[in-house]
Amino acid sequence: MNHPWLAHYPAGVPHSVEPEQYRSLAELIEESLRRHSKRPVSVCMEQWMSYGELNEHSSSVGAWLQARGLAPGARVAIMLPNVPQFLVAMAAVVRAGFTVVNVNPLYTARELEHQLKDSGAEAIIILENFVTTLQEVIDHTAVQHVVVASMGDLLGFWYGRWISFAVRHLAKMVPAYKLPVEGPRGARTIASFRQVLDDGSRLALKPSGSNLDSTAFLQYTGGTTGLSKGAVLTHRNIVAAILQAEAWFRPALAKVGDPRETNSVAALPLYHIFALTLSLLSIRWGAYMTLIPNPRDVPKLVETLKRRPFHILPAVNTLFNALLQNPAFRQLDFSPLALSQAGGMAASEGTARQWLAVTGCPMIEGWGMSETCAIGTNNPVINREFSGTIGLPLPGIRIAIKDDEGQDVPIGSAGEICIAGPNVMTGYYKQPDETRAAFTADGFMRTGDIGVMDERGYTRIVDRKKDMILVSGFNVFPNELENVISLCPGVLECAAVGVRDDKQGEAIKAFVVRSDASLTEEDVARYCHDNLTGYKRPKYIEFRDELPKTNVGKILRRALRDS
């Protein structure tokens, strides 16, 4: 197979990576924790955590989990925002030999129940703000051990206590909860994060026993059947993605010098594959992250950025746009900024031009999926202009443009973008049919994106084969929305499509046929609010007498999008 992109790699970027230099992701993490023990790994609300502290805390949590008798590879859910506890929990689960199941903290009870049941998670580490959601569904899951964290647990003794008090009693962001102690499988363990740190500190963390073929993460992504699927990401997948990103970003870091001095801004949620992979890259370097628990508070985010030089800013197009609209952001010192990495959704040329004018640092657009550890293609980081493409395949990755039969199409012709490489998932968890359908006979994973590759190896996305809606970088599948909305009293049938939105890329529009003429838009919106995470809720609701369909009764979503 011809690999035209290799001739266009920046100087010094290797053509492949070697994940086999590590026995597991756990070894990569532990090596960094030992080597950089005195250096900072994160700062959150001006409270610092060192690699030594991350080593100590994650060892304690990991040992505590092992003492619960979980089998190797057992699934442990993490339902936390961007706070230091996330890094501790993630490192603990990996080091202990278990599998991380990342959970969006804003999930509704329905969404949380599905993910916990589907993954078979036996333990969960969760922020107290979201425990009432867990309380609704825990008896329908296999969760036997619950670790409840508070916002201030790792923010210093006095400041941390104040933050936890303020969140609970002043902001009133922690609804009263009472988790059932007895469950279908007997008595549950329910402990506070601080208690787990204390109890675990008296235990020894046993070697994980994981290897490169062990499962490290179940990263859930939208399902075309209406339910999300767990992409099985092995230690090899994650290690490869870290090394691929490191190799590709190396030319940009020449501006920083020592990569250990790099400050990466973690404003995107760490449970999302984009931010997760970049956080692990930061750990690989021995660098530090600025953790942003609430990036929606743009003024506070800008105040945080103002405090110290920042070198890497990963963001989706909507966040870049929101920052540009803030007058205080334009007054920051951008001279240290080495990389503005755009991903998660299509980058807009208008935003890219404005970003370069304000910061002097070009937006570099890339493309990837949960199934590929966020890594796929990226524009060279030395670019100074917006290309409008998703760039070149990263080291060790092969991109092929194929037709419906899985055959390569000629250069310059449109077809489905397919990907192969050491970072590509092994399949969907306990879904053999979905896994078989996801791969071609020659081992490429079908992405559902339609693209065109030019003679240099640059790919441009021209359409999406699937009906997936991309809202601010999050995949939303119409089937899931339609399954939920159809259960709303008074709804006969419905369809959901994506429509262009300048702020979030796409917005959701729901078309509804009523069985009850008294049903209102407010009724449907309220039902969606109760049953769908914020980014999955329709922005527009339109009632129709009927929906366009094929002669076999399939709803024509494209006709609705074009109407």
Write the pLDDT tens digit of every residue in 471-510.
Answer: 988 878 787 888 789 889 998 888 899 998 888 889 999 9
Query: Mean pLDDT throughout 327-339?
Result: 96
What are the start-end ranges of the E strands in 237-297? 263-266, 288-291
Same domain, residue pair 393 and 488:
no
Out of 100-114, 244-258, 545-559, pick the least confident: 545-559
Structure tokens of 482? Answer: 């339609």
**Tokens 């743009």 found at:** 298
Q: How far apart are CA 287 and CA 41, in angstroms?
A: 6
Q: Which long-range contacts (CB under 8 A, 24 or more apart) does 38-42 make?
A: 39/260, 39/286, 39/288, 40/288, 41/87, 41/282, 41/283, 41/288, 41/289, 42/84, 42/87, 42/266, 42/288, 42/289, 42/290, 42/291
Q: Over 80: is that where the pLDDT of 286 sits?
A: yes
In a 13 Å sphere around the CA of 294, the CA atoms on its Cβ side amount to 8
Q: How far apart are CA 281 and CA 367, in angstroms?
A: 17
**Sign of the CA dihedral with 289 first, then 309, 367, and 1 last:** negative
Please check whether residue 543 is in contact with residue 512, taking contact to mean a CB–CB distance below 8 angstroms: yes
How deeply is 187 buried, as exposed, middle or buried, from its count of CB atoms within 10 A (0-12, 13-18, 19+)? Answer: exposed
Instruction: Kindly state whether residue 34 falls inside one of the protein's structural domains.
Output: no
Q: pTM for the full model?
A: 0.87
Same domain, residue pair 458 and 482:
no
Amino acid occupying residue 158: W
Out of 100-104, 220-224, 359-363, 466-470, pick the least confident: 220-224
Same domain, residue pair 303 and 410:
yes
CATH of residue 62: 3.40.50.980
Instruction: Look up residue 558 and give its DSSP letter.
Output: H
CATH of residue 313: 3.40.50.12780
Same domain, residue pair 82 and 112:
yes
Q: Over 50: is that where the pLDDT of 153 sits?
A: yes
Q: What is the pLDDT of residue 72?
A: 97
Please check whether residue 19 is in contact with residue 422, taking contact to mean a CB–CB distance below 8 angstroms: yes
Q: Over 60: is that where the pLDDT of 552 sits?
A: no
Query: Mean pLDDT throughout 13-22?
Result: 97
Instruction: Kindly state whether residue 27 falls inside one of the protein's structural domains.
Output: no
Query: Mean pLDDT throughout 265-291?
Result: 96
Q: What is the pLDDT of residue 10?
A: 95
Residues whose CB is less than 8 angstroms from the CB of residue 427 and which lie 6 or more positions away in sequence, other chains included = 232, 434, 435, 438
Please check whether residue 413 is in contact with residue 405, taking contact to mean a CB–CB distance below 8 angstroms: no
What residues does 263 pair with on adjacent strands? 288
Measured in degrees and rounded to the nearest 5, phi and psi for residue 136 equal -65, -30
Same domain, residue pair 317 and 456:
yes
Same domain, residue pair 506 and 367:
no
Instruction: Kindly state whether residue 189 falls inside one of the protein's structural domains.
Output: yes
- Of the candidates 123, 154, 157, the residue with the CA atom closest to the CA atom of residue 138: 123
Q: How far apart are CA 320 and CA 502, in angstroms?
A: 12
Query: Mean pLDDT throughout 205-221?
Result: 96
Instruction: Look up residue 424 and give its DSSP letter.
Output: S
**Tokens 């599948």 found at:** 477
pLDDT band at 225 (very low <50, low <70, confident <90, very high): very low
Mean pLDDT of the chain: 93
Same domain, residue pair 359 and 434:
yes
DSSP 337-401: --EEEE-SSPPPHHHHHHHHHHHSS-EEEEE--GGGTT-SEE--TT--S--SS-BEEPTT-EEEE
Instruction: Kindly state whether residue 383 falls inside one of the protein's structural domains.
Output: yes
Q: What is the pLDDT of residue 322?
A: 87
Instruction: Kindly state whether residue 30 falls inside one of the protein's structural domains.
Output: no
Rg (CA), the chain: 23
How many other CB atoms are found less than 10 A from the CB of residue 180? 11
Please check whether residue 15 is in contact with residue 412, taking contact to mean a CB–CB distance below 8 angstroms: no
Work out the widest C-alpha separation in the chain, in whole angstroms.
67
Please check whether residue 78 is in contact with residue 98, taking contact to mean a CB–CB distance below 8 angstroms: no
Q: What is the pLDDT of residue 550?
A: 55
Same domain, residue pair 273 and 404:
yes
Q: How far apart are CA 370 and CA 475, in angstroms?
A: 10
pLDDT band at 2 (very low <50, low <70, confident <90, very high): confident
Q: What is the pLDDT of residue 554?
A: 62
Q: What is the pLDDT of residue 551?
A: 47
Instruction: Kindly state whether residue 38 falls inside one of the protein's structural domains.
Output: no
Residues whose CB is less than 8 angstroms from the CB of residue 379 and which lie 6 or more positions away in sequence, other chains included = 364, 365, 366, 387, 389, 390, 391, 392
Last residue of a domain, one of 432, 447, 464: 464
pLDDT band at 102 (very low <50, low <70, confident <90, very high): very high
CATH of residue 492: 3.30.300.30
How many other CB atoms are found less than 10 A from the CB of residue 171? 11
Write a three-state SS string for 435-495: HHHHECCCCCEEEEEEEEECCCCCEEEEEECCCCEEECCEEECHHHHHHHHCCCCCEEEEE
Last residue of a domain, one of 179, 211, 243: 211
Structure tokens of 242? Answer: 């870290």
Instruction: Look up residue 208 and give its DSSP letter.
Output: -
Measured in degrees and rounded to the nearest 5, phi and psi for residue 460 equal -120, 130
Q: Over 80: is that where the pLDDT of 555 sits?
A: no
Please check whether residue 124 is in contact with residue 146, taking contact to mean a CB–CB distance below 8 angstroms: yes
Q: What is the pLDDT of residue 520?
A: 96
Please check whether residue 527 is in contact with residue 488, taking contact to mean a CB–CB distance below 8 angstroms: yes
Instruction: Kindly state whether residue 221 falls inside one of the protein's structural domains.
Output: no
Same domain, residue pair 494 and 459:
no
Domain count, the chain: 3
521-544 pLDDT, tens digit per residue, is 999 999 999 999 999 999 999 999
**Tokens 């920083």 found at:** 256
Q: How far apart are the first and last CA of the chain?
A: 42
Instruction: Kindly state whether residue 115 falls inside one of the protein's structural domains.
Output: yes
Same domain, residue pair 427 and 478:
no
Q: Over 70: is that where the pLDDT of 226 sits?
A: no
Write a three-state SS string for 17-60: CCHHHCCCHHHHHHHHHHHCCCCEEEEECCEEEEHHHHHHHHHH
Last residue of a domain, one of 442, 464, 486: 464
Same domain, residue pair 385 and 292:
yes
In the chain, the percentage of residues whose pLDDT exceeds 70 is 97
Q: What is the pLDDT of residue 165?
A: 95
Instruction: Look up residue 235 and give its DSSP letter.
Output: H
**Tokens 């290797």 found at:** 14
Residue span of the structural domain in which 119 resides: 51-211
Please check whether residue 55 is in contact with residue 34, taking contact to mean a CB–CB distance below 8 angstroms: yes
Q: What are the distances in angstroms from CA 203 to CA 66, 126, 192, 546?
A: 10, 22, 17, 63
Query: Mean pLDDT throughout 206-222?
Result: 94
**Tokens 């870290």 found at:** 242
Same domain, residue pair 473 and 413:
no
